Structure 1
Amino acid sequence: MSSSTIPSDILHSKVEPSIGGSLLGMILSIMFYGVTVLQTFIYYDNYWRDPIYMRIFVVLLFVLDTAQVVAIIDTVWFYVVPNFGNVAALSGVHLSLGVEIGMTISIGLLVQSFFAMRVWLMSGRKLIFPALIFALTLAQFSLGIYYATIADRIDQPEAIEHTVIKVALASLACGMAGDFFITACLVYYLHKGRSGLRNTDRLINILIMYTINTGLVTFFAATCTIILNQVKSTEFWDVVPYFLLSKCYVNSTLATLNARGRLRNMSSGVGTETAQLDMGYMQDGHTTTAVIRNRPSDPQITSGIQFAKSAEMEMTESKVIESIFVPEF
């Protein structure tokens, strides 16, 4: 049906909520994909000596994220160019949209499985919570595959609304639950692993912040998708946060991996203070070494306090950083 046979007001009311959300989601996805490219370049430029499984993990995320962007562009192209004004085309789900869903849930499976492995290692290889997280992740993936498989076969809006959408929401709910347990477990084990060494505990606090932010970003995107789906059930604005869900998974994970260099610099750098000396104590009762240099001959230069860390401190902090970001099996 061409646009000339449909009143403009009806065509506008049909196209704007359907194609408008997809177009906006495509623009934002391309912007976030640029961040993915930059984060991937930074990773391989700085951490190319990581274990092979980490490098494969990162390249898989990049390839899947690239395929997701391509699927979004093809979906919008299908509805905007060859089917412009064809309202009947809006009642079904294009094949590329099913591919996009498949890429998104595959990224979710990889990222959540990776973090579940971290929980398993940090917990002393206990299986209860990692198994629960993996079960939720697998449920999200299975429901998403089911949705992507049957969605393009249904051309009746009522069937999509009452059957397929419920499956998609159940998949999102499982992913949200998995993100919650991952964040809670990692924060718990990080907090439990405090050593009593001031600088190391400060690094752990930063790692806790990274962990919470990583979980919140993906949790927020999934929550917005569900809310928009329920509030605007007859429209398709929920695709905007859903298109960004995989980008949140990829970029938050890569940003966390790329933060290692900055954290190492924080732990091994030399600090200067002009205020009161604050001594850090190691667990065995020994203190860090404080070297005070006074230069009274030059009144413009204040006294500096240089902290010289022991080899044990540096090894402890480096081990904390590497064990969190790159698990060793």
Structure 2
Amino acid sequence: MSAQAFDPNPTLGAMLVGTLCGCILYGVTCVQAYIYSTRFPDDHWMIKFSVCFIWMAESAHTGTVCHTLYTLLINDYGHPELLLARPPRSIIGYIEITVIIAVYVQVFFSYRIWVLSKSRIIPAFTYTLSLVRFGLGTTLFSVGLNVKSVTEFGTKWQWLGIAMWSLSAVEDVTITSALVYLLFQQRKNVHKSTTAFLDKIIMWSIETGMLTCSFSLATVILFHLMPNNFIWIAFSTLEARMFSNSLLASLNSRSVLRELRDRPRPGTTSNGLLTFSTLTEGFRTFSPWSKNTNYSRGTSKGITVDVTTTTDEPELMDMRKPAAF
């Protein structure tokens, strides 16, 4: 590549933009991890481990991407012919870290499907996809350590990357569809005042699932069409951030969902006292979502009314139990 023919926009420019956007999203990850640590100190240790693991993996991912950018912009400054030569080891390392983050998050949400459905069919399918994707990513990592140029990596081993990111997109769609279907099924059995609560969960499930799927599809398309530039690398960098933030957002959103759940419902006063219409209407309960709490409330005339309130809250909201993980 001659200096006169060198165009930095699809190579160094794409890498720079992707790294800067990735650093911004890494900041979001750090904020979300901090919010989690302050709001949910009583969660099960496996949930805490997951948050810590994701944050550490994101930190390592950011370090490898920044090292790659420094090598290309500073160490190889003035030598564009080196751009498509043997890639820095860090750029290969960050691909493997991306795979680890994505697989971990997908396994996390696959387990949630099992908690909701108590069926092993869909989780077994998504677990298999995660295992295959991890194998493909590790193979791609091993191959990348020995390639002589980016051109060789993008032509000889292109099929491996396409298969890996395609599997990721399929798994994202499967997980999102399963979660939405299960939540819609539960929506039919809840009290009407709880539907807004479930609608919010459904909406967030669709948004996060489609976001990660979109970046996986964008990466595989760009890698197929333009394997010799770095635009696909920029999208792959952001893909890892999408996975991490989707997991952390799902954990931190519990506080928002609980506020939505605890709002005064029709038939209650602002202080929570039940009116006559509520007493005659009753509540519908179902398992494993409902948690009943009995308590007595005295009236001003000395009459004691026994009231049973029902919290239609998914057991996924209670992360203090191992089953919630």
TM-score by length of 2: 0.82
Residue in structure 2 matched with residue 44 of structure 1 by the alignment: 37
Residue in structure 1 matched with residue 284 of structure 2 by the alignment: 283
* Aligned-pair CA distance for 1:89: 4.4
CA distance in 2, matches of 1:175, 1:163: 21
CA distance in 2, matches of 1:130, 1:263: 25
Residue pair 1:198, 1:281 contacting (<8 A) in 2 also = no
CA distance in 2, matches of 1:326, 1:248: 26
Residue pair 2:317, 2:324 contacting (<8 A) in 1 also = no
CA distance in 1, matches of 2:62, 2:124: 31
* Cα deviation code 1:154-213 (max 9, x no counterpart): 114553223322211111111111111111111111111122301222211111111111
CA distance in 2, matches of 1:311, 1:35: 41
**Residues 1:205 and 2:199 are matched in the alignment:** yes
Change (3 A) 1:89 1:320: closer
CA distance in 2, matches of 1:82, 1:320: 49
Please show how residues 36-185 of structure 1 align to structure 2 within 5 Å.
36-86=29-79, 87-124=81-118, 126-185=119-178
Q: CA RMSD in A?
A: 2.4
Q: Secondary structure at the match of 1:313?
A: strand
Change (3 A) 1:203 1:136: same
CA distance in 2, matches of 1:320, 1:149: 38
Larger CA deviation: 87-96 vs 186-195? 87-96
* Cα deviation code 1:214-272 (max 9, x no counterpart): 10110011111122223334322111111001100011111111111111111112368
Change (3 A) 1:113 1:320: closer
Residue pair 1:79, 1:90 contacting (<8 A) in 2 also = no
Residue pair 1:183, 1:211 contacting (<8 A) in 2 also = yes
Residue in structure 2 matched with residue 9 of structure 1 by the alignment: 4
How much identity, in percent, do the aligned residues show?
Answer: 23
Change (3 A) 1:139 1:317: same
CA distance in 2, matches of 1:242, 1:58: 21
User: What is the letter of the counterpart of residue 322 of structure 1?
Assistant: D
Residue in structure 1 matched with residue 214 of structure 2 by the alignment: 220
CA distance in 2, matches of 1:74, 1:127: 42
Residue pair 2:92, 2:141 contacting (<8 A) in 1 also = yes
CA distance in 1, matches of 2:222, 2:17: 14
Residue pair 2:193, 2:265 contacting (<8 A) in 1 also = no
User: What is the letter of the counterpart of residue 17 of structure 1?
Assistant: P
**Residues 1:28 and 2:25 are matched in the alignment:** no
Residue pair 1:105, 1:141 contacting (<8 A) in 2 also = yes
User: What is the letter of the counterpart of residue 313 of structure 2?
Assistant: E
Residue in structure 1 matched with residue 190 of structure 2 by the alignment: 196
* Cα deviation code 1:107-150 (max 9, x no counterpart): 111101111111112111x2211111011111111111111111
Residue in structure 1 matched with residue 324 of structure 2 by the alignment: 328
Residue pair 1:98, 1:148 contacting (<8 A) in 2 also = yes
Residue pair 1:264, 1:318 contacting (<8 A) in 2 also = no
CA distance in 1, matches of 2:231, 2:144: 18
Change (3 A) 1:89 1:153: farther
User: What is the letter of the counterpart of residue 284 of structure 2?
Assistant: Q
Residue pair 1:92, 1:152 contacting (<8 A) in 2 also = no
**Residues 1:317 and 2:313 are matched in the alignment:** yes
Residue pair 1:196, 1:281 contacting (<8 A) in 2 also = no
CA distance in 1, matches of 2:245, 2:197: 21
User: What is the letter of the counterpart of residue 185 of structure 2?
Assistant: K
Residue pair 2:316, 2:324 contacting (<8 A) in 1 also = no
Residue pair 2:219, 2:235 contacting (<8 A) in 1 also = yes
* Aligned-pair CA distance for 1:153: 1.1
CA distance in 1, matches of 2:206, 2:253: 15
CA distance in 1, matches of 2:49, 2:265: 37
CA distance in 1, matches of 2:218, 2:62: 20
The size of the alignment, in residue pairs, is 291
* Aligned-pair CA distance for 1:78: 1.0
